[in-house]
Amino acid sequence: MIASENTPLAALPLPPKPTGLPFLRSSLQFARGPIDFFVSMYQTYGPAFSLQAFDFNLTVMLGAKANRAILIEHADKLSAREGYSLLLGVMDDALLVSDGAHHARQRRLIQPAFHSRRIESYFEIMREVTLRQMATWRDGDVIDIYAEARRMTLEIVVRALLGVDIRDQLDTMADTITHTFDYVTQPASRKLFKIDLPFHPYGRSLRARRQLDEMLYGLIRDKRQQLSQKNIASDDVLSWLIEATDDDSETGDGTRLSDSSIRDQVLLLIYAGHDTSTCSIAWALQLLAQHPDVAARLYAEQTQVLNGRALLMPDLKAMPYLDSVVDEVLRLYPAVWIGMRGVTQDFVFDGKRIPAGSKVMYSPGASHRLPEVFKNPADFDPERFSATNKLKIPPFAYVPFGGGARTCIGMTFAQVELRVMLTELMAHFNFELVSNRRVPMHYNPTLAPAHGAIKLRVRKR
């Protein structure tokens, strides 16, 4: 049926979905690579298509208009809490899984940590941590840059945002976070059998979460004690959360946030603040090792700007090619490759009815690889984001940090961190491939390497 403006909403068709034998073939394609699968479905069915997930109906919406529809136009008909329901039970009261007024209040509480002046104060932490970790590398070493980046980004986010130093616990915290979220973000079909034994993913997840809770509640307890003794100033997110009340809400009675609510926000800041940046740094260095011409041009730019002196915050604005490289890395490996929402009210997109009670997904990972927007989309080409070419990209075609009221709150933090770390790393080392074999991806909310490692050889400058 051809819909018109007067067509009743209930009479509109649902987004198409594969059926019969082709669906089985599609399932295999999805298992091999969800992003490529989504792009092929887009080319076959258009910007909105449906899939029957194990326990819910899912509509995938791709492209600039789809991203705008989900992030802006129909955001009031969508629920992030329902979209990210897999995370409930691990963090029930975090910013990511809240909606409406509660989400707005949480965002207001945390937002000051990401104002421009605060970001400037984190600059030296970013440099210091990067330089210290690099000092452990020797010329010719083969390192797992994913593991190295994880230590650096985790220390940066905990020191900068929480005002604590857990240098001796970094690996333990990183491992507990990985085991916790790797399990809970799996679809329901993979969690049918819950066996609390050390060798089973469910058992590992439970133990990891218990250990993680001990660490998080310990941080809260120690910070509260320091605040009560006036040993420190209230100058970090953890302190603000401990001292915050709900008296700025309509029904607020001035009570403090519970420890469980504080714990949820802290966990989200740590998880999202380090996991996304870890992937971005690791893939960036892998790409630069694969494209020595790009690496050479990037090094030449920073050498000209710095002229032998230490990096300063204003220098980042004088490196346009660095901006292009970062933008292209985030096109190929966006901070989060999918975003989920629950549909609370029917809406129309591309002449199709997206029904209430279902879920919708938008995918920066797939939208960034649509060939009609990005020519030869699998290629690493920073020139796509030159000052001239960047203007040709349609609005909402490039959304590595989402958009609208739910734009990633740590976007500026992550962008500065990525630029600082890349500049310092490139200033001291050249990175070479150890193998020409493709590094497969693990399609969790972030695009991590499938086997948890990206190995590169480092050569001192």
Looking at residue 23, its pLDDT comes to: 53
pLDDT in tens, 270-322: 999 999 999 999 999 999 999 999 999 999 999 999 999 999 999 999 999 99
Tell me the average pLDDT of the chain: 90
What confidence score (pLDDT) does residue 451 get? 81
Q: To the nearest whole percent, how much of the chain has pLDDT over 90? A: 71
pLDDT in tens, 377-394: 999 999 999 999 999 999
**pLDDT tens per residue, range 7-63:** 678 789 999 987 765 555 556 667 678 999 999 999 999 999 998 765 667 899 999
Distances 107 to 53, 86, 274, 403, 408 between C-alpha atoms, Å: 31, 21, 19, 14, 10
Instruction: Order the strands of the 142-144 sheet from edge to edge.
Output: 142-144, 455-460, 429-433
Cα angle for residues 444, 447, 452 (degrees, 5° grid): 85
- The two beta strands, 447-449 and 339-343, are unpaired
- Domains, the chain: 9-460 (1.10.630.10)
The neighbour count for residue 309, using CB atoms within 10 Å, is 8
The answer to which of 183-187, 278-282, 436-440 has the lowest mean pLDDT is: 183-187
Please give the pLDDT value at position 154.
96
- In terms of Cβ atoms closer than 10 Å to its own Cβ (0-12, 13-18, 19+), residue 433 is middle
Q: How many CB atoms lie within 10 A of CB 94?
A: 22
CA-based radius of gyration for the chain? 23
Residue 26: the pLDDT is 59
DSSP structure class, residue 256: B
Are 332 and 283 a contacting pair, CB within 8 Å? yes
Residue owning tokens 């083969």: 142
Could you report the per-residue pLDDT of 48-86, keeping only the tens digit for each?
999 876 566 789 999 999 999 999 999 999 999 999 988
- Within 13 Å of residue 163, how many CA atoms lie on the same side as its CB? 20
User: pLDDT tens digit string along 326-356?
Assistant: 999 999 999 899 999 999 999 999 999 999 9
Tell me the pLDDT band of 244, cut-offs 50, 70 and 90: confident
As a whole number of angstroms, the distance between CA 273 and CA 282 comes to 15
Tokens standing for residue 424: 């310092």
User: Residue 229's pLDDT band (boundaries 50, 70, 90)?
Assistant: confident
**Token duo for residue 385:** 């984001």
The confidence score (pLDDT) of residue 189 equals 58
Q: Which two tokens mark 349? A: 């997109």
C-alpha to C-alpha distance for 139 and 148, rounded to whole angstroms: 16
Number of C-alpha atoms within 13 angstroms, CB side, residue 194? 7
pLDDT of residue 452: 79
Nearest CA-CA partner of 63 in 26, 37, 38, 34:
38
pLDDT at 203: 82
Residue 197 has pLDDT above 80, yes or no: no
* Cβ-contact 26, 37 below 8 angstroms: yes
For position 450, what pLDDT does the model report?
86
What Å distances lie between residue 271 and 157, 221, 258, 446, CA to CA? 9, 20, 20, 11
CA gap 133, 149 in Å, rounded: 9
Of the pLDDT bands very low, low, confident and very high (cuts 50, 70, 90), residue 205 is confident
- Within 10 Å of residue 221's Cβ, how many Cβ atoms? 11
Is residue 364 a contact partner of residue 334, using CB atoms and an 8 Å limit? yes
pLDDT at 187: 65
With bands split at pLDDT 50, 70 and 90, how would you rate the model's confidence at 6?
Answer: low
Residue 180: its pLDDT value, please? 86
